[in-house]
Amino acid sequence: MEEYPNKQATENLDDPPNSRLFVVTSRSITEDELREGFSAFGDIQGVWVVKDKQTKESKGICYVKFAKSSQACLAMEEMHGKVLMEGTKPCKVFIAQSRSSTRHRDVEDEELTRIFVMIPKTFSEEDLKDTFKEYGDIEYCVIIKNKFTGESKGLGYVRYYKPSQAAIAIENCDKTYRAILAEPRTKATVTEDYSAGAPRGDYMGGGDSMNQYAFPMADPGNYQVMDYRSNDFTRCLMMSTRAALTQEQIFALFDIIPGMEYCELQRDAYGMSKGHALIRYSNLGSAVYAKEKLNGFEYPPGNRLVVNFVDDGDDRSSPVGRMAMQFVATQMMSAVWNGPSTSQVMKPPGFSPVSPMSRVQTDVNLPPLKKLAPPDSKTKERLFVVFSPSPLPPDVLEDVFCRFGSLIEVHLVPGRKVGYMKYADKQCADEAMAALHGRVVNGVKMKVMLADPPREESHKRPRTY
C-alpha cells in the first residue's frame, strides 16, 4: 500500500503529534473534496488518498494533516459519522497513529483527553481546575500527593471531556506548567503514589505513549546514538535503566537540569516499560550537561543509568551549528570535569537517604546500623520477604535488616523473588517486620511476614535457611 504517492518527505507528518487524521470514507471521494470538507477546522498541510498500486483506484482510506493538534482533534469530533458528499457513506475519522509507532490501532479518545502538568505545591484541586477550565469542560482534576505525608508532589492530572479541549490546553497554557498528554490508563503499571480524589484506575500510568505533543516516539533501536567525543551533540537523549522507574521519577530526575522540554518513558503494546526513556532539552548546553552528569549515575543505588545522545533531526552541519557545538563542548566539559562530582551534585527525587554516605534509599526512617549476631546463634524467629519487582542485593538487605538488632544472616532463594531473614531475638524480628512491611528500599517494594516454622519431623532434612 502506497500511503503517500507523491513521495513527499514524511519527517514532518507527526509534527506536532496527533495532528494527522485517518479517514475511512467512500472510494469516490477525491482529495479536493476532502480538503474542502475539512478546511473549516483549520490549516490543512496535506491530504492523501491511499490508492491501489495496480489499479490506482482509491481504497476509501485517506489522511488529512493539520497544522495543529487541536485542529485535528476538533475535525475528528465534528466529522466522525458525517457525510462528506451527498450519496456517499458516513465517514469514520480518527487521530492517526504516529508513523514511528509499532501499534496496529489508531489513537483512542481516552488517550487524548488527560493532560499531565507540573504545578506549584501550594495548588489545591480547585486551583488546578480554575487554572485550566478556560480551555474546556473539565471532568476531574487530581493532584499527586505523597502517600505518607499527604503533601503535594507538584504534579497533577486534568481530564477534559473532549480531545480538542486537552489539545488547546497544551498549546495555550503557560509553559511553566509543562503540560503534556498523560499516559493511557492500564492495569499493567498500577502504582500507589496517587492520592484519592477520583477512581483509582482513572489516573494510573501505562500505555505506549505519554507525551505525543513534544517529540515523536520510537523504539530506542530506531535512533542513531551520537558519540559526544566527536562533538556530534544533540538536544535529545536516550536513557536506559534496568530498574522499574516510573515516568514521574525519570521526569523529576532529568528536570533537575534546566531546559527540559520533553520526557517520555517508552512502553510496549501491553503498557510495560521497555527500560528506555527519551528526553529532549530546549538547548544544547543542558543536554550535554545532563548527559555528562547522569550517564553512569546510580538511581536508585545499584542501578546504573546509561544516557546517550540520539539524533534529533536538527541540522548541525552549518557553520553556526558547528560553532555552537564547539562552544558548548568547551564550556560544558570544563564545568563537568573541574566541578563537583556527580554524587555531590545530583540528589535523586522521591527517596530520603538514611545518611549522606548510605547506599540505602527508603521511604522509612531507619535506626542506626547494628552489628550482626554471631553466625552460630540460635534462630528464634525468621522473616519471609517478597520483593517487587526484583530482589535487593544481600548486602543492601543486611544493611537494612540489621538495624533492628540480632540479625544472624540473610538468605535469598535462587531464581525467586523471595528471601529469609534469620534473627536471634523474636522482638527484633517483630520490630523489623512492623517497620519494613510494605516499604520501598532502592525502588523495590517489600512484603515482610513471619516465615512458617521449620518442620520438626526427624526424617525431614533440616532447613539450610
Residue-level pLDDT at 269: 62
CA-to-CA separations, 146 to 134, 149, 152, 230, 290, in angstroms, rounded: 28, 6, 6, 43, 26
Inter-helix orientation angle 247-254/284-294, to 10°: 110
Paired residues of 153 in beta bridges:
none
Give the sign of the dihedral formed by CA 158, CA 164, CA 167, CA 172: negative
Residue-level pLDDT at 315: 54
* Cα–Cα–Cα angle for 156, 161, 167, rounded to 5 degrees: 70
Residue-level pLDDT at 107: 58
* Cα–Cα–Cα angle for 82, 86, 91, rounded to 5 degrees: 30
Segment holding 354, helix H or strand E = none
Residue-level pLDDT at 217: 36
55 by Cβ neighbours in 10 Å (0-12 / 13-18 / 19+) ranks as exposed
pLDDT tens by residue, the chain, 465 residues: 444 444 444 447 778 888 999 999 998 998 999 999 999 999 999 999 998 888 888 888 999 999 999 999 999 999 998 888 888 889 999 988 776 655 544 556 667 889 999 999 999 999 999 999 999 999 899 898 887 888 888 899 999 999 999 999 999 999 999 888 887 665 333 333 443 333 333 333 333 333 333 333 334 444 444 444 334 567 888 898 888 888 878 888 888 888 788 788 887 666 677 788 888 888 787 888 888 888 888 888 878 898 988 866 555 555 555 555 555 555 544 444 444 444 344 444 444 443 333 567 777 888 998 999 998 899 999 999 998 878 888 888 998 999 999 999 999 988 788 999 999 999 999 999 999 998 888 778 899 999 877 654 444 445 444
Terminal alpha carbon distance of the chain: 62
Those residues with Cβ within 8 angstroms of residue 295's Cβ, 6 or more apart along the chain or in another chain: 305, 306, 307, 308
How many Cβ atoms from other residues are within 10 Å of residue 77's Cβ?
A: 15
Segment holding 63, helix H or strand E = strand 58-66
What domains are defined for the chain?
Answer: 20-102 (3.30.70.330), 110-181 (3.30.70.330), 236-312 (3.30.70.330), 381-450 (3.30.70.330)
Helix H, strand E, coil C: the string for 300-322 is CCCCECEEEEECCCCCCCCHHHH
Measured distance CA(340)–CA(273) in Å, rounded: 33
Strands (E), 176-258: 180-181, 225-226, 236-240
Those residues with Cβ within 8 angstroms of residue 376's Cβ, 6 or more apart along the chain or in another chain: none
Segment holding 182, helix H or strand E = none
* 106 within 8 A of 142, measured Cβ to Cβ: no
Cell numbers at residue 185, please?
490508563
Those residues with Cβ within 8 angstroms of residue 265's Cβ, 6 or more apart along the chain or in another chain: 183, 210, 245, 246, 247, 250, 273, 276, 277
Residue-level pLDDT at 106: 52
Cell numbers at residue 155, please?
504534579
